[in-house]
Amino acid sequence: MKAKIRKIATFVEETQREMDREISPPTRKAAAVAVVENPCAGKYVEDLSELMAIGEELGELLTQRAVAALGIPGHSAESYGKSAAVGENGELEHAAAIRHPKLGTPVRRVLGKGAALIPSSKKRGGLGVVLDIPLGHKDAAFVRSHFDGMEVRLNDAPRANEIMVAVAVTDSGRPLPRVGGLKKNEIKGEDGLR
Amino acid sequence: MPELVVRKKMTCIEEILHEGGAIAATPLRRAAVLTVIRNPFAGAYVPNIEGFMDDLKPLGLDMACTLVQALGGDANVVEGYGKGAIVGAAGEIEHGALWHVPGGYAMREVLGGAKAIVPSTKKVGGLGTRLDVPITHINASYVRSHFDAMEVGISDAPRADEILLALVMTTGPRVHARVGGLKASEVKGEDGLR
């Protein structure tokens, strides 16, 4: 494996009630986060292909971990998102290199499908920085009930020469969706949008 | 006594491969399970609250079992534990103390009669409050390699009328433990201390 992983964390959130209403079945989100060494930290590196290769590995590993944490087959996942935080000696472009060119393909392979763009966020930050992972329906970005987010944080990451990479997967949308828009049972699933 | 109402649950698992030293042959795992419940005593001083500890016992057992499952299902891998509570703004610290008995005894029971006291911490706080849950060896509090802590929290909890309850288990010593003291291999396991 190219990625030098220091730690991996998995989070599962299950919401059973909201505003005193029962959520049945509960909504569930999972995120898997890897803290890896940033081989490009501390200097300007023109060719970021090493980071792209790390992204490809992490796409598969983190998606598998997130789906396993939910205890569902990949194709039952409904929404997804990704996020990264670069430590102080790295640049935002490093987060882009890990995530955008190659991370998505293995995510979609694990989930069976995924016509929609994987919503993403990135930042540079110190230990304990909060990642707000945006979430959207995996086959149709316009499904309004599935616009959501998941916050993750590790108190001891990222160190200055590290990158923290997260993939989030859900088996549901928001707990009490009622703002209209495209519904999941209306998805055509051809263009990734509707 | 009042009904136990759960709003959400969260499970976090950290797998630590190294922290600058050699990669661990068996990575350290720390797991936390958090449950957000309604605080039945929020908003007023209630003199008699003790009975609620009994109501929390089934939840404690359920959470302890969830932790063992999160660590692979074999209680024998668990070597450290801890517990904590965050009471929302309309409650008092004493409400957090209700968790000592049901949380602690549940873990000891699930782990087959662990000897050491379960270290704990608690506070009153708002949404997103973080809690550093202390961790010690399950059979001998003085085992120095197992002194640890895990930071936990949920971005949208506890609301003012809620309590966030936490249990934590770990599978071994700190990843590069080397500050001496009583070793896990030297535990007598009679008094819970050594």
Cα distance between residue B31 and residue B36, in whole Å: 17
Q: What global pTM score does this model have?
A: 0.90
Q: Is the peptide bond before A25 cis (omega within 30 degrees of 0)?
A: yes
| CATH number of the structural domain B6-162+173-186 | 3.30.1330.110
CA A23 vs CA A78, A175, B10, B156, B164: distances in Å: 17, 6, 15, 16, 19
CA B123 vs CA A96, B28, B164: distances in Å: 39, 27, 10
CB A84 within 8 A of CB A66: no
A142-156: pLDDT as tens digits: 999 999 999 999 999
- Domain presence at residue A164: yes
* Full domain range(s) for residue A58: 5-186
pLDDT at B1: 61
- Give A192's pLDDT tier (boundaries 50, 70, 90): confident
- Domain presence at residue A136: yes
- Domain presence at residue A192: no
- Domain presence at residue A12: yes
pLDDT at A1: 82
Average pLDDT over residues A113-142: 93
Q: Which residues of B touch A5 (CB under 8 A)?
A: 17
- The DSSP secondary-structure symbol of A143 reads B
Of A173, A166, A164, the C-alpha closest to A138 is A173
- Domain presence at residue A194: no
Angle between the N-to-C axes of helices A49-70 and A92-99, in degrees from 0 to 180, rounded to the nearest 10:
60
| Residue contact B18–A6, C-beta within 8 A | yes
| Residue contact B15–A8, C-beta within 8 A | yes
Minimal Cα distance from A131: which residue of B? B155
Cβ of B66 under 8 Å from any chain A Cβ?
Answer: no
Average pLDDT over residues A126-134: 95
ipTM: 0.82
Cβ of A11 under 8 Å from any chain B Cβ?
Answer: yes
Task: Give the bridge partners for B6, in sequence order.
Answer: B37
Query: CATH number of the domain that A83 lies in?
Result: 3.30.1330.110
Cβ of B190 under 8 Å from any chain A Cβ?
Answer: no
Domain map (residue ranges) of chain B: 6-162+173-186
Closest-CA distance of chain B to residue A10, Å? 5
Count how many pairs of residues, chain A against chain B, have C-beta atoms within 8 Å. Answer: 54
Closest-CA distance of chain B to residue A116, Å? 27
Per the prediction, chain A carries an average pLDDT of 95
Where do we find the tokens 């316009």?
A142
Closest-CA distance of chain A to residue B107, Å? 20
- Domain presence at residue A20: yes
* Tokens read off for B187: 């535990």
Average pLDDT over residues A56-81: 97
| Residue contact B12–A18, C-beta within 8 A | no
Interface list for B 71-130 with A (CB within 8 A): 130
- Domain presence at residue A123: yes
- Give A113's pLDDT tier (boundaries 50, 70, 90): confident
Cα distance between residue A106 and residue A60, in whole Å: 5
Task: Say which of B6, B12, B151 has its CB closest to residue A16.
Answer: B6
Cβ of A153 under 8 Å from any chain B Cβ?
Answer: yes
CB B146 within 8 A of CB B79: yes
As for how many domains chain A has, the answer is 1
Average pLDDT over residues A54-78: 97
Q: Which residues of B touch A11 (CB under 8 A)?
A: 10-13
In sequence order, which ranges of A8-130 are alpha helices (DSSP H)? 49-70, 92-99, 104-111
Closest-CA distance of chain B to residue A93, Å? 25
First to last CA, chain B: 39
Closest-CA distance of chain B to residue A190, Å? 34
Q: Count CA atoms closer than 13 A to B51's CA, side-chain side.
A: 9
Note down pLDDT in tens along chain B; length 194 residues.
678 999 999 999 999 999 999 999 999 999 999 999 999 999 999 999 999 999 999 999 999 999 999 999 999 999 999 999 999 999 999 999 999 999 999 999 999 989 999 999 999 999 999 999 999 999 999 999 999 999 999 999 999 999 999 999 999 999 999 998 999 999 998 888 99
